[in-house]
Amino acid sequence: MDFLTLIQILDTTVRLATPLLFACLAGLYSERAGIFDIGLEGKMLAAAFFSAAFAAITGSVWLGLLAGMGASLFLSAVHGLASITFRGNQLISGVAINFLAAGLTVLIAQDWFQQGGRTPSLAGAARFNEIDLPFQSALADVPYLGPIYSELISGHSILVYVAFLTVPLTWYILFRTRFGLRLRAVGENPAAVDTAGVNVIWLRFVAVGICGVLCGLAGAYLATGLQAGFVKDMSSGRGFIALAALIFAKWRPWYALFACLLFGFFQALSFRPDVVKAVLQFEIPGQLMDALPYILTVVILAGFVGKAIPPRAGGEPYVKER
């Protein structure tokens, strides 16, 4: 495998890891506050549809982005009401959101566009285009440095850069601010936080809202950045892989980045069976290559994660003592 091929695979890795990273950080905020959310998949799917639909209707990807984030926030509000206000089972609420999004997106898409449950193909201002960073052309011919800068670092849509900048921002918010300290405390011992005069319910709703925003960005990127429109079930289990990456990362932002890049790398390899064949000296069946990221998820969770301890109050509704 030559250097340029490696750069191309890494470039694909970055693109494929972006929606996983958004969703993983979304789950990080929610679960750090004690709200387990397996509805990441449904929120991504809803955001992907509404962002693509409104981008196709209005011709503006930014209006599509707002629509996608709005759809994800709505589902986050539903999850918050069910699990925080009414103290319902958080896992059942997440499953219901996944089923709801999977069915409604196709139904509404067929009603609006009559294209078999998909949206029209997006182009121009209706999707996020690649951004050329400064000096890309000047550095393109420089050995090694040129391909790294022009192919791997430059040439991505704005949401890719936002995703990677969100990692240090999340680390700073959670571990260097009063808000982050309280958010983490709510997931560990909400009664102690309440005793200190902090509104536990409000903090958990804020965390669920942040989760909705990040899932909206993930879905919008899927439909208007990574691809050029919405198709049925286009999230393809990414929400569940993001949850696996979150456990693998042990609820830490920087570890989450590396976990998502790892999953993205294996997914990128599934698109390059020629490279895998050249490295392993034998051919892997196409179906097995397609399933590789999902097999990796099971293998890592089964044998390589070690002891991952979730927030102690995770999954438990908080009932204020009288």
3-state secondary structure 224-242: HHHCCCCCCCCCCCHHHHH
**Alpha carbon distance 90, 36 (integer Å):** 6
Please give the Cα distance from 270 to 272 (Å, whole number): 6
Question: Does residue 303 have a pLDDT over 70?
Answer: no
Phi, psi of 131 (to 5 degrees): -110, 125
Per-residue model confidence (pLDDT) at position 248: 86
246-259 residue pLDDT tens: 988 889 999 999 98
Query: Domain range holding 25?
Result: 3-121+135-236
The mean-pLDDT minimum among 70-84, 139-153, 213-227 falls in: 139-153
pLDDT at 318: 81
Residue 300 has pLDDT above 90, yes or no: no
Instruction: Please give the model's pTM, rounded to 2 decimal places.
Output: 0.94
* pLDDT, the chain, mean: 90
**CA–CA gap between residue 212 and residue 249 (Å, rounded):** 20
Per-residue confidence at 1, pLDDT binned at 50, 70, 90?
A: low
Tell me if 275 is assigned to some domain.
no
In this predicted structure, which of 136-145, 183-192, 243-252 has the lowest mean pLDDT?
A: 136-145
CA-CA distances (angstroms) from residue 189 to 34, 86, 201, 265? 9, 20, 13, 37
Question: In the predicted model, is pLDDT for residue 322 greater than 60?
Answer: no
pLDDT at 289 over 90: no
Residue 287 lies in a domain: no
Secondary structure of the chain: what % helix, strand, coil (to 5)?
70, 0, 30
Note whether residue 313 is domain-resident: no
Question: How far from the centroid of its chain's Cα atoms is residue 120's Cα?
Answer: 23
Task: Identify the residue whose tokens are 């089923």.
Answer: 99
Whether the per-residue pLDDT at 15 is higher than 90: the answer is yes
pLDDT of residue 45: 96
Token readout for 33 is: 């506050």
Q: Give Cα separations from 239 to 33, 97, 100, 213 (angstroms).
A: 19, 12, 15, 14
At which residue do the structure tokens 């984030």 appear?
A: 69
Domain count, the chain: 1
Which of these, 9, 5, 23, 82, lies nearest to 216 by C-alpha position?
23
Residue 227 lies in a domain: yes
How confident is the model at residue 181, as a pLDDT? Answer: 94
Q: Write down the H helix ranges in 222-285.
A: 238-248, 253-270, 273-280
258: exposed, middle or buried (Cβ count in 10 Å: 0-12, 13-18, 19+) = middle
**Selected residue with higher pLDDT from 50 and 306:** 50
Q: Lowest-confidence range among 103-107, 151-155, 177-181, 318-322?
A: 318-322
Q: Are 54 and 67 in contact (CB under 8 A)?
A: yes
Say which residues have a Cβ less than 8 Å from residue 99's Cβ, sequence separation at least 6. 42
318 occurs within a structural domain = no
Residue 309 counted as domain residue: no
Q: Could you please report the per-residue DSSP string of 107-119?
A: HHHHHHH-SSS-P
Q: What is the pLDDT of residue 227?
A: 93
Residue 199 lies in a domain: yes
Q: Does residue 154 contact residue 133 with C-beta atoms inside 8 Å?
A: yes
In a domain, 264, yes or no: no
